Amino acid sequence: MHDRTLCAQAGQYLVQRVGQQRIDVVELPVGVHILYPRQKSAGGSPCVSYRVPVREPEIELLCSQLASYYVFPDTANEIANVLRTRLAEGAYADASDDEDFAARVTEDLQSVNGDKHLRLLYSETEIPETDQESVWDAVAYRKEAELDAFGIRKIERLEGNVGLLELSLLHDAEVATPAITAAMNLLAHTDALIIDLRKNGGGDPNTVALVCSYLFDEQVHLNDIYNRPDDSTQQYWTLPHVPGPKFGGTKPVYVLTSGRTFSGAEELSYNLQQNKRATLIGETTKGGANPGERYRVGPHLKSSVPNGRAINPISGTNWEGVGVVPHIEVPADKAFEVAYEKATSS
């Protein structure tokens, strides 16, 4: 048997040389590649063949990213062992396409410690190869944020002078600050505020800090994030000054949560809860407190690898795996009704 291992992605054919013989790689219907000499030897000896697992290049690259970036190095090794074992078992061999493959790998990635930020993502658009390790297209992201109204799904002054702010995403502060500022200025003179995070998938901790800055009178230490790649911890505080009027630190705030509330939206909820600044109403949140980066794995695949973890300065911990438990637990679709009743009777 040849002592060199050759790998090919599904749907590709490679031709390489090992020694003096030309070697073809052929994809089988079951998703296994067989390597064989193009011609038999002069003595008519049979072709030597062996199998290379489908998706090995992607899995090995993903394991390398885990080893380099995942915030918990020991757990990264455990997860890599799971992925390699599953690969050897043929768990990914019959994946119908990249999207199916990504879903299977994500399930295995989360099987060790349940980290919901740890994922393999499918992208319909091709992910270009660049010199940068992380996958980030600033121009495309800004356009996406604009089309999403910078995460502001609804802003309204309700009867009884109750403000309502529904946020679907906490877009990066670099692009979202003007819109968030305008929204908070409009709501500054309401008597009570309802912040709806029930469909919010998270976002930038700097935007979390910006929103919180309008809800406190004094500077407050909100959160810390430890970052593994550079072994540093960044503190997040409310801003000393913000444009326009504030809602302030004394009027009632109600935050609506659901099982879909995730990541940065959980941080916003947790920050306000730990500082006794808001009443949380709804369901326990999804439970993801480890932020990270995205890295290219293939033309249509990118990994989401958490390289940090949140550390609340009051609790000394975070909501990873357990979620943020609301003060008043009700089904998500009843949360607004309960909050509005409290806001108008306070």
**Which structural domains are found in the chain, ordered by start?**
15-53 (no CATH), 56-122 (no CATH), 138-296+307-345 (3.90.226.10)
Beta-carbon count within 10 A of 82 CB: 15
Most distant CA atoms of the chain, gap in Å: 94
The pLDDT value recorded for residue 285 is: 99
Is pLDDT at 30 greater than 50 in this prediction?
no
Is pLDDT at 165 greater than 50 in this prediction?
yes
The pLDDT value recorded for residue 131 is: 60
Confidence at 212, pLDDT banded by 50, 70, 90: very high
Share of the chain above pLDDT 90, in %: 80
Helical spans, DSSP H, in the chain: 56-69, 73-88, 98-109, 138-147, 173-187, 205-213, 264-274, 335-345
Confidence at 49, pLDDT banded by 50, 70, 90: very low
| pLDDT, the chain, mean | 88
Distance CA 336, CA 342 (A): 10
Confidence at 130, pLDDT banded by 50, 70, 90: confident
pLDDT tens for residues 277-327? 999 999 999 999 999 999 999 999 999 999 999 999 999 999 999 999 999
Between residues 324 and 40, the one the model is more confident about: 324
